[in-house]
Structure 1
């Protein structure tokens, strides 16, 4: 410690921690010289920033309470992905998964003579499942790389802050990053709310922060209004409770926390499950606050890789069984198009009704972004509302494949932690909670890029990483948009008139999942088709189909700035087409009245009901026994223990899962629940 102080090798040291959905940003400003004249003894020796995950080593296996992992990146303050970075000294650096007790040291190069340097260090929590744990970490800036990498005495330092007059470090929290842009913007009479909504086991605050910042960069396109980008943070770790529960809470947040007399416009952007949640929220707003869409102009309704038709016919039978039994809570039953009562309608069917369609007609633009390939979570047919020119999409994909623009393994890298992570977490996890199966591409056509659910689950925390050329040189990025077309109700009618256009007997590779289902799923085929037709009744949709490298489901929203960088072009397109300041309208009907019946009001305003399977295991639990134990420890334990029939039912589920999933790595306890 004395040696460290004497050598003055440490310029800054700080300890902090992040919970689920939290980010901390460190603005590192180094003054190289202050006077106008350059000093004769000026040195351009690099600085180094050290990021350490201070979680105990034993926490590497504590995934159910975490995982206790960090994402970190450092870049210059003037970095933007649209620029070609020539000098390697200016390359951004990042660590996608910093595990417990691991250290990442990144260089802060002083290779140019300039009076001041500024870098940005982002530290992001990778916790997924709980709100009551955190990942402690340390940020240290020093002058000796070897010392930072090897000297354990750094851990003994107090919260020093900066020890150099030349170094100024400013720390921003998650709230700062989300609230400062609106607080620092010039006051204007018109507020335009932009509501972002996250998906299952995700969050707004961290996972959609890149999208938030890019939208704010378009503020210059709106001289007469102020953009306020926000979302409901408190649905984090609540996403298994169902679309109704999540959407109602989002609507309440908009009214209670965001709306005031200056709010004149509103846009919605939802990723994955968030597309359904925002749809319900819109209906909830109109039903409970009929004045809202008269006072607030709807502008953009955007879904990104959202399962608008549910996910049923693309799933194996055992996955649908788990969804039906509520293994992922009420949300799983919603996506499986299940109902609790014989005369009840599936929630996703009700969402597509005239009531919500009449609200969506008032929006200036309705846009769907969907992954054609490499999305093991949400298949194209459901994210694209079924009706698409699949032949044109397939033709474009084959052209890209011939140009090798989708050949992932040749130009991606995977974290060194992959083997350990797959063995101890991903393998047992995906065997138990395979929520969505992969798109089923025939083995006879290996050229089409494929990705399984297992790869997608692993890629949430272990994404295949873009190579450095993709990150620093825009010329190394191929066009990812393979289809961009506005579909109207008339287009759907034309398809239905064609006797050879049946989706359920189509040989197109994208429709194999629909044409090879078992007889028991036939009713769900027709239900999905009916929902798709209803969504097009009186509505036009712009459908933008993209071809991204793995992991497309998280890349499409750039969950993390660099590890999910393949999605940059998607966000660029979203911003340029929806936040350019231009008043392009598809076919919005501003004066259309919202069609409301008593049935609509009763359905949309019905209180959310508690139930045994409303909340699935919050966290990905790797054995059925742990799932049962998780339920038992929660508020439903008395009900389960008191009812022998329930116990027997759960054991039958256990047997079914064991039979179908081959849980060779999972020990299922036999003790009484």
Structure 2
């Protein structure tokens, strides 16, 4: 008869968007012969009616249990999508003299060590999921329960504390979404528990020698000691969280740990707010970076904070403008040897929408710092992964473009379909928005009432944090043309900073990516690469080319029912499937910037004239259905074989009849070509095509380590290809 389990560890924790906790459980070697099994019980305590409101969640959690986590990676026991008021139980046999076989070795102490990982699947709104985690020990037959608990004198005092903080602390760690109280170890003589919360797992941490409280007073050798740190910013895509890029962060950290110069920064400021538009998302990421790098602690940063505090506290506009003018005069041609956190280099990595957010963020930082930031910190690598650089709609069915342009996913959908911004509604300056705050402030308000949160934000003007209700705008915010076109325009602030990077690289899925198609993620293709030949009998593809509808079905099923790998399958990165990778370097077009800028100006003028002439054709920035159908049938103007020389766009008469050419605006295909020309003008790119057999949009970044095994070598390629020292 099985012995009655004894409760050894219990913990109650709340997780929001991007929340994750890990428990490292180790059995005391002197007790392994007294225990038969460990039972891990995890319960989603959210009320069951929350299952009916997935738009506010989804209210689900996932669990992974890994035995001997320090050994060669092994696919753990996985339990995905645990819904409200549901629980799961995972049993782990103790490796001892009673259980010793080919798979467990008593001589290996790691065989009695486990890592339990619990993460939140919530992405749409920053609500909280209450979770209970319990560990029970089942004694061996003949072992008394009194013996198991006899050495435990004080069961209520053994609490593993979390090291989390509510804001960016001295070590550079970011805010966390989970509670700060660690698990309660009721039987410490039996098991030990090393607990890590969201902050410790996802937050950035500087090497110890990087921090100096008064860097301005440091000696020359101390300045050399802290200088030279390379900040790598990772930005997630739409309806995502920083968990999407956690595996990539951990691989970058592990690969560069030997030199201690790499600091990875996962952006969490857009959790639950990715539908508000590229502009809003980019501003939030920019303000987080300015705060994290220590720019706010400089003289110019303090002046910027003062101007923003004036706006937040509703002071006079003239006073705010006066502060901004003073900042501009003081910061012109200013260069620091290093910001207070010792960062001298920066690389940017963005997945999907995150790549576009990063492009906007570059221009925004350049504008609000008046050139100080990138005059001090050197931009090195700019990397996009499955990013719709040319927008969405011209490669998809027209109905998808119509839905997005009508606001199916908010302002972000309109930005992605290259909609004109002339009719974009501005928010009232008196409206408080939680998502307008940087993450270090936003998390502290998430469990407060809205009125209390607004009051707290408005009364924080004395701090050196950027917490204005409406962050300052940059030059990109004033153009009525589509935002993607404005960012790609040669001479624009984003385009100018993008050119300053040492290299620019775009990873693109050749097939099996329904969200972001091949042409938009490669800016109209890879030179000398023929997609049709790739999928022919002589090509390298391992599967035939699938239809669009097949991709839609498989992508939907992969999102609703994530595939679970087989249990107990040992798998290292070397054993992971090798995706087909095609690399091509695209040279810049010298002297093309002026011509491309002229074309964009002409396109903007035509669009404005068309809107004024015929409101029924282009009402509120939404294209007529016939125009969208025409854009789908337009021939590609930039071929896969000759991308080094981007040809000129045809005239309007080539795309429509001469009688309507003056009133019909540019189609999405035309605008996409203009964006592609803007990014290729006087700018080199390395384009990498990746072929993954399964749903590739999340595989390419390994969105979840154990569910997206096919992307392991894609991440390995990125980590080894780029120098983050």
Q: TM-score, normalised by structure 2?
A: 0.62
CA offsets, 1:620-672, max 9 Å, x none? Answer: xxxxxxxxxxxxxxxxxxxxxxxxxxxxxxxxxxxxxxxxxxxxxxxxxxxxx
Equivalent in 380, 383, 393 of residue 521 of structure 2: 383
Contact 1:126 1:461 in 2 (8 A): no
Contact 1:73 1:121 in 2 (8 A): yes
Asked if residue 222 in structure 1 is aligned to residue 303 in structure 2, the reply is no
| 1:322, distance to aligned residue in structure 2 (A) | 2.2
Please name the residue that 2:357 is paired with.
Answer: 277
Cα 1:248–1:502 shift into 2, 3 Å: same
Give the alignment of 1:239-258 within 5 angstroms.
239-258=274-293
Contact 1:129 1:237 in 2 (8 A): yes
Contact 1:12 1:142 in 2 (8 A): no
| 1:183, distance to aligned residue in structure 2 (A) | 5.7
Distance in 2, Cα, partners of 1:61 & 1:126: 16
CA offsets, 1:370-402, max 9 Å, x none? Answer: 111111101010011113147445544557988
Please name the residue that 1:193 is paired with.
Answer: 231
Please name the residue that 1:591 is paired with.
Answer: none
Distance in 2, Cα, partners of 1:469 & 1:365: 41
RMSD: 3.6
Distance in 2, Cα, partners of 1:182 & 1:76: 30
| 1:351, distance to aligned residue in structure 2 (A) | 0.8
Distance in 2, Cα, partners of 1:470 & 1:374: 26
Equivalent in 681, 684, 701 of residue 540 of structure 1: 684
Give the alignment of 1:342-357 within 5 angstroms.
344-354=480-490, 355=492, 356-357=494-495
Cα 1:530–1:91 shift into 2, 3 Å: closer
Please name the residue that 2:18 is paired with.
Answer: 21
Cα 1:576–1:490 shift into 2, 3 Å: same
| 1:540, distance to aligned residue in structure 2 (A) | 1.1
CA offsets, 1:211-248, max 9 Å, x none? Answer: 2211111233535x2x2211332211111111111111
| 1:304, distance to aligned residue in structure 2 (A) | 0.8
Cα 1:108–1:560 shift into 2, 3 Å: farther
Asked if residue 95 in structure 1 is aligned to residue 79 in structure 2, the reply is yes
| 1:271, distance to aligned residue in structure 2 (A) | 0.7
SS of the residue corresponding to residue 208 of structure 1 reads helix
Extract unaligned runs of 5+ from structure 1: 35-40, 146-156, 407-444, 509-517, 582-673
Q: Aligned pairs, how many? A: 497
Distance in 1, Cα, partners of 2:138 & 2:23: 18
Distance in 1, Cα, partners of 2:520 & 2:23: 40
Cα 1:125–1:142 shift into 2, 3 Å: same
Distance in 2, Cα, partners of 1:266 & 1:455: 37
| Stretch deviating more after TM superposition (378-387 or 64-73) | 64-73
Contact 1:373 1:548 in 2 (8 A): yes
Contact 1:13 1:161 in 2 (8 A): yes
Cα 1:98–1:104 shift into 2, 3 Å: farther
Distance in 2, Cα, partners of 1:160 & 1:203: 29
Distance in 2, Cα, partners of 1:353 & 1:387: 20
Cα 1:317–1:179 shift into 2, 3 Å: closer
| 1:485, distance to aligned residue in structure 2 (A) | 1.3
Please name the residue that 2:92 is paired with.
Answer: 107
Equivalent in 670, 690, 702 of residue 558 of structure 1: 702
Asked if residue 122 in structure 1 is aligned to residue 117 in structure 2, the reply is yes
SS of the residue corresponding to residue 54 of structure 2 reads coil
Give the alignment of 1:274-353 within 5 angstroms.
274-289=354-369, 290-341=371-422, 344-353=480-489
Equivalent in 106, 116, 131 of residue 136 of structure 1: 131
Please name the residue that 2:42 is paired with.
Answer: 51
Equivalent in 708, 717, 722 of residue 573 of structure 1: 717
Distance in 1, Cα, partners of 2:521 & 2:82: 33
Equivalent in 2, 6, 10 of residue 9 of structure 1: 6
| 1:336, distance to aligned residue in structure 2 (A) | 0.7
Extract unaligned runs of 5+ from structure 2: 96-103, 141-154, 157-182, 212-224, 295-338, 424-478, 597-633, 642-654, 657-663
Distance in 2, Cα, partners of 1:79 & 1:521: 59
Equivalent in 204, 211, 215 of residue 248 of structure 2: 211
SS of the residue corresponding to residue 299 of structure 1 reads strand
Cα 1:529–1:106 shift into 2, 3 Å: farther
Cα 1:396–1:30 shift into 2, 3 Å: farther
Distance in 2, Cα, partners of 1:297 & 1:77: 41
Cα 1:238–1:199 shift into 2, 3 Å: same
Equivalent in 240, 260, 281 of residue 202 of structure 1: 240
Distance in 2, Cα, partners of 1:185 & 1:49: 39
Distance in 1, Cα, partners of 2:539 & 2:81: 30
SS of the residue corresponding to residue 369 of structure 1 reads strand
Distance in 1, Cα, partners of 2:669 & 2:591: 17
Larger radius of gyration: 2
Please name the residue that 2:584 is paired with.
Answer: 485
| Stretch deviating more after TM superposition (188-197 or 9-18) | 9-18
Distance in 1, Cα, partners of 2:53 & 2:417: 30
